[in-house]
């Protein structure tokens, strides 16, 4: 079920009303209700994958209880291995089987052999990368004795399948979300209103920014050979705003929806395009995934506590795995590798922790040096997004060849000029709102400083923008494919 669909517009208020009506009963009934509606929400795409979601949840629920009872460390490691093999095995099969098969066939073909192996018609379950990492983090935390396992099966099923963030995150930690299912939830009007504001902002970013940018980006990337290097790079800039509006918009809708039900999800984006270096960018982009890799890959590998060379290797490993997490394509691996190369100078100069606070934290405006650093970082990120957006390696090579040719200095040729103007208008609005909200958790929060009348004017303005600029047909969120 898409957030930007009529189905969800009907589903949400019905669920909201019933959820708070049963508040007077035992807390368990609220949790059971959340499990049911979350499974309905997920099964709306394909009910067959509900068994996969339930199986993955059941494995980690059972393994965690066994880990708690067992004192023998060797046996505990076996239990953990079962969880890792099961979850990563399912993820690997559905997401990467045909990719590895293709590369296996190509290797043999290179040496003159032509194996006759058929591809499997595998449908990628929506959100499998997200809920797999969520359940894995729970089991790993129980193994490391950082978390007590729950015996409440319904709370655990609700934690894994909680519908606002099930499909595209944030990837929640059990230490944050699971305890919220144990506590009685009382309707909080101010929290619900804040949730609605964040939902509105999320829809603005998705419907006005992301979907309109998509028209421009798709026009160029669907026929790369006829476009100059300058046109491709301009398209990559629009793609930067498309993927940000799309993914952070989803996160805002998810977090805002969770607030309607009395839950607090972690912040997933903190204005990454105001970053002054690539390290700051990755502390602000897809925070739930970046911190997941930090805690469960980077730190176990030794993190930064070992030698500089080992720190560099660990950083490269994390970025490459992160790239591969995004999809079964060498383009994603190269995207991860490129970002690790961006990171390398900061590690060598020990400046990767230089910019912790948001830009102009105690000032109204950034300095000239900060503006230059922001623009330079943004250009690096936009170039990296080309690796992400190009569907094939051959398309990627066309992009790079054209960008590093004299055609980069040609006047950009993009036919949809009216769309470019309107989309650029929306992007400017988003940038202004987010700049003035840069100390807050989402881009509409700054208007809380104004009087109610002015606040309502902002809401009406955004709703009008959505009504006038949204596309006629609904489009899925980009990260659904991951």
pLDDT digits (tens, 9 = 90+) for 441-472: 999 999 988 999 999 999 999 999 998 888 87
Closest Cα partner for 387 from 403, 410, 364? 403
CA gap 59, 38 in Å, rounded: 19
Asked if 49 and 480 touch (Cβ cutoff 8 Å), the reply is no
Residue-level pLDDT at 414: 75
Dig out the tokens for 434 from the structure.
């987010």
Q: Compute the average pLDDT of residues 89-107.
A: 79
CA gap 461, 247 in Å, rounded: 22
pLDDT tens, position by position, 319-365: 999 998 888 788 999 999 999 999 999 999 989 889 999 999 989 89
Is residue 259 very low, low, confident or very high in pLDDT (cuts 50, 70, 90)? very high
Q: Compute the average pLDDT of residues 199-214.
A: 94
Residue-level pLDDT at 212: 92
The pTM assigned to this predicted structure is: 0.92
pLDDT tens, position by position, 268-279: 999 999 999 999
Dig out the tokens for 394 from the structure.
């051959």
Q: Compute the average pLDDT of residues 22-41.
A: 92
| Burial (CB count <10 Å: 0-12, 13-18, 19+), residue 310 | middle
Residue-level pLDDT at 456: 93
Residue-level pLDDT at 111: 64
Residue-level pLDDT at 124: 76
Three-state SS sequence of 368-414: HHHHHHHHHHHHHHHHHHHHHHCCCHHHHHHHHHHHCCHHHHCCCCC
Q: Compute the average pLDDT of residues 215-232.
A: 91
Q: Compute the average pLDDT of residues 79-95.
A: 91
User: Sign of the CA dihedral 204, 207, 210, 216?
Assistant: negative
Least confident span in 19-28, 249-258, 416-425, 453-462: 416-425
Query: Does residue 107 carry a pLDDT above 80?
Result: no
Query: Does residue 481 carry a pLDDT above 80?
Result: no
- To the nearest whole number, what is the mean pLDDT of the chain? 90
CA gap 234, 208 in Å, rounded: 18
Residue-level pLDDT at 477: 77
Catalytic residue of the set 114, 119, 286, 326: 326
Least confident span in 29-33, 59-63, 85-89, 477-481: 477-481
Residue-level pLDDT at 473: 72
Active site residue 286: no
> Running DSSP on this structure, what letter comes out for residue 333?
H
């Amino acid at each position: 079920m898409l957030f930007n669909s009529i189905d969800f517009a009907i589903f949400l208020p019905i669920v909201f009303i019933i959820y708070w009506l049963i508040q007077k009963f035992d807390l368990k009934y609220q949790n059971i209700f959340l499990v049911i509606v979350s499974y309905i929400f997920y099964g709306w795409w394909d009910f067959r994958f509900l068994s996969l979601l339930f199986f993955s949840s059941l494995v980690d629920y059972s393994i965690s209880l066994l880990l708690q009872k067992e004192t023998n460390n060797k046996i505990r490691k076996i239990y953990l291995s079962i969880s890792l093999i099961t979850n990563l095995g399912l993820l690997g099969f559905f997401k990467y089987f045909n990719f590895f098969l293709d590369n296996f066939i190509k290797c043999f073909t290179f040496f003159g052999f032509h194996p006759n192996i058929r591809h499997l018609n595998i449908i990628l379950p929506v959100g499998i990368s997200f809920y797999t990492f969520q359940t894995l983090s729970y089991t790993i935390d129980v193994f490391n004795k950082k978390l007590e396992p729950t015996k409440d099966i319904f709370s655990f099923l609700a934690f894994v399948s909680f519908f606002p963030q099930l499909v595209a995150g944030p990837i929640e930690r059990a230490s944050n979300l699971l305890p919220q299912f144990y506590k009685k939830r009382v309707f909080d009007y101010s929290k619900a209103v804040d949730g609605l504001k964040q939902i509105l902002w999320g829809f603005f970013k998705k419907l006005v920014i992301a979907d309109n940018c998509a028209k421009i980006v798709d026009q160029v990337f669907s026929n790369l050979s006829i476009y100059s290097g300058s046109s491709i790079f301009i398209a990559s800039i629009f793609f930067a705003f498309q993927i940000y509006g799309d993914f952070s918009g989803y996160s805002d809708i998810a977090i805002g929806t969770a607030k309607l039900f009395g839950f607090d999800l972690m912040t997933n984006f903190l204005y990454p395009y105001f970053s002054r270096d690539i390290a700051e960018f990755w502390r602000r982009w897809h925070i739930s995934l970046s911190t997941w890799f930090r805690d469960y890959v980077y730190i176990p590998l030794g993190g930064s506590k070992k030698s500089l060379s080992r720190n560099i290797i660990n950083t490269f490993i994390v970025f490459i795995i992160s790239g591969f997490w995004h999809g079964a394509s060498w383009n994603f691996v190269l995207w991860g590798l490129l970002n690790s190369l961006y990171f390398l100078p900061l590690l060598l100069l020990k400046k990767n922790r230089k910019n912790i606070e948001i830009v102009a934290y105690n000032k109204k405006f950034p300095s000239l040096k900060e503006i230059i650093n922001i623009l330079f970082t943004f250009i690096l990120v936009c170039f990296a997004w080309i690796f992400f957006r190009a569907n094939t390696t051959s398309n990627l090579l066309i992009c790079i060849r054209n960008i590093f040719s004299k055609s980069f200095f040609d006047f950009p040729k993009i036919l949809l000029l009216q769309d470019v103007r309107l989309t650029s208008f929306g992007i400017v609005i988003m940038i202004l709102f987010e700049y003035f909200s840069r100390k807050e958790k989402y881009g509409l929060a700054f208007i809380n400083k104004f009087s109610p009348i002015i606040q309502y004017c902002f809401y009406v303005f955004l709703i009008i923008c959505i009504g006038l600029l949204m596309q006629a047909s609904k489009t899925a969120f980009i990260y659904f494919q991951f």
